[in-house]
């Protein structure tokens, strides 16, 4: 079901923070802060990720002039067990805290829930924060870095990045704003993939499911949008969704793109199948897509956050990898 918002929800601010590889990628110059060491002054990777979230939300406040007391609801989550990057990173702000988990779709899930809350006047201002960190994710889902394991060609590189967004029911920016007027929550899908190093293929069915439902219910078609942006399908998943879109008769090349293909420079850094992680789409949105909507490059964007809902235990127990794709429509005006 498409949730059409009763009132537009505006993205009144955005910030992003990243690590070394993200900084030397194509969007690096737009980061509000980066740390060349990826450590953010901390002595464990988990604490580094928390600190990255803390800095990112602080940056959002600095850029928007808002204070923590102005925020009614804070939606946050991450990939780390029990979402501790968000809990520890955001505890000092004393904002009512709603923990969410959508794996790498967390940015879209948070934007959707924050937009619904603001449009229904349950929050005047809501914030969304999410992050991922290559080193904490590798240790948790695969191997500690010290092990020096080799990665397969279909594997993606978890972005060391955080993104934060300020949502409100009024356009506070003066300029043409970026607003959300429709969201659609994803249905979990399972395409039968068991390879935790091919999450693009695991997530592609979720994107196809959500897009199919969206086009059917709205009566729209791919070419009605300036951009259909997926969260972190990478080259593997992008190729699958591209074929699906071509079958719909769409000029895919010009409309479909993926955050995981935007954030690294392939000639500088071999990230195999591309970027991934909660921070990947949050960073791409904050550093590139939302500014490009503001400046008029895009007017109407379908953003689909993509999440592979696996755990280390589920992989070790031989389970297939379910996935989900939440849709948020971002428009200029």
Q: Which spans of this chain sit near its own copies (rule: CB under 8 A)?
A: 1, 3, 6, 44, 46-47, 72-73, 77, 79-84, 87-88, 90-91, 94-103, 109, 113, 116-117, 119-122, 140, 184-190, 309-314, 317, 319, 322, 324
Query: What's the min distance (Å) between Cβ of 192 and its own copies?
Result: 12
Nearer to its own copies, 178 or 183 (CB): 183
307 with 102: CB under 8 angstroms? yes
Q: Kindly list the distances between the CA atom of residue 148 and the CA atoms of 46, 93, 225, 264, 307, in Å, as whole numbers in the listed order.
A: 19, 37, 43, 21, 26
> Count of CB atoms within 10 A of residue 243's CB?
12
Nearer to its own copies, 3 or 269 (CB): 3
Nearer to its own copies, 174 or 318 (CB): 318
Query: What's the min distance (Å) between Cβ of 74 and its own copies?
Result: 9
Comparing CA positions, the residue from 264, 269, 215, 212 lying closest to residue 241 is: 212
- Count Cβ neighbours within 10 Å for each residue of 19-48 and write b for 16 or more, e otherwise: bbbbbbbbbbeebbbbbeebbbebeebbbb
Comparing CA positions, the residue from 9, 10, 40 lying closest to residue 23 is: 40
Nearer to its own copies, 20 or 142 (CB): 142
Query: What's the min distance (Å) between Cβ of 296 and its own copies?
Result: 30
53 with 162: CB under 8 angstroms? yes
> What is the Cα gyration radius of the chain?
18
Nearer to its own copies, 80 or 256 (CB): 80
> Count of CB atoms within 10 A of residue 205's CB?
22
Query: What's the min distance (Å) between Cβ of 114 and its own copies?
Result: 12
Distance CA 169, CA 172 (A): 9
Distance CA 235, CA 18 (A): 22
Nearer to its own copies, 246 or 314 (CB): 314
Query: What's the min distance (Å) between Cβ of 42 and its own copies?
Result: 10
Nearer to its own copies, 81 or 253 (CB): 81
Query: What's the min distance (Å) between Cβ of 122 and its own copies?
Result: 5
Residue 204 corresponds to which tokens in the numbers above? 């592609």
Query: What's the min distance (Å) between Cβ of 94 and its own copies?
Result: 5
């Amino acid at each position: 079901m498409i949730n059409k918002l009763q009132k537009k929800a505006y993205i009144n601010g955005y910030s992003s923070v990243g690590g070394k590889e993200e900084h030397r990628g194509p969007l690096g110059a737009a980061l509000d802060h980066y740390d060349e060491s990826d450590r953010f002054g901390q002595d464990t990777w988990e604490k580094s990720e928390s600190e990255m979230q803390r800095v990112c939300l602080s940056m959002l406040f600095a850029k928007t002039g808002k204070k923590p007391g102005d925020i009614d609801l804070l939606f946050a989550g991450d990939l780390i067990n029990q979402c501790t990057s968000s809990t520890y990173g955001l505890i000092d702000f004393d904002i009512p805290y709603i923990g969410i988990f959508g794996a790498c779709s967390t940015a879209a899930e948070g934007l959707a829930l924050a937009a619904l809350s603001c449009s229904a006047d349950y929050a005047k201002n809501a914030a969304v924060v999410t992050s991922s960190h290559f080193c904490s994710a590798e240790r948790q889902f695969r191997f500690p870095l010290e092990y020096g394991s080799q990665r397969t060609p279909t594997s993606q590189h978890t972005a060391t990045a955080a993104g934060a967004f300020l949502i409100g029911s009024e356009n506070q920016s003066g300029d043409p704003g970026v607003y959300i007027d429709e969201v659609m929550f994803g249905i979990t899908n399972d395409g039968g993939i068991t390879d935790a190093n091919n999450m693009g293929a695991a997530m592609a069915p979720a994107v196809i499911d959500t897009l199919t439902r969206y086009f059917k219910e709205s009566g729209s078609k791919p070419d009605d949008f300036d951009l259909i942006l997926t969260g972190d399908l990478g080259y593997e998943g992008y190729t699958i969704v591209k074929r699906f879109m071509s079958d719909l008769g769409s000029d895919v090349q010009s409309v479909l793109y993926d955050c995981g293909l935007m954030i690294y420079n392939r000639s500088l850094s071999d990230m195999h199948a591309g970027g991934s992680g909660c921070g990947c789409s949050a960073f791409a949105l904050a550093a590139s897509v939302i500014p490009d909507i503001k400046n008029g490059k895009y007017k109407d964007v379908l953003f689909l956050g993509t999440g592979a809902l696996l755990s280390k235990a589920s992989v070790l127990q031989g389970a297939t990898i379910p996935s989900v794709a939440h849709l948020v429509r971002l428009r200029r005006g």
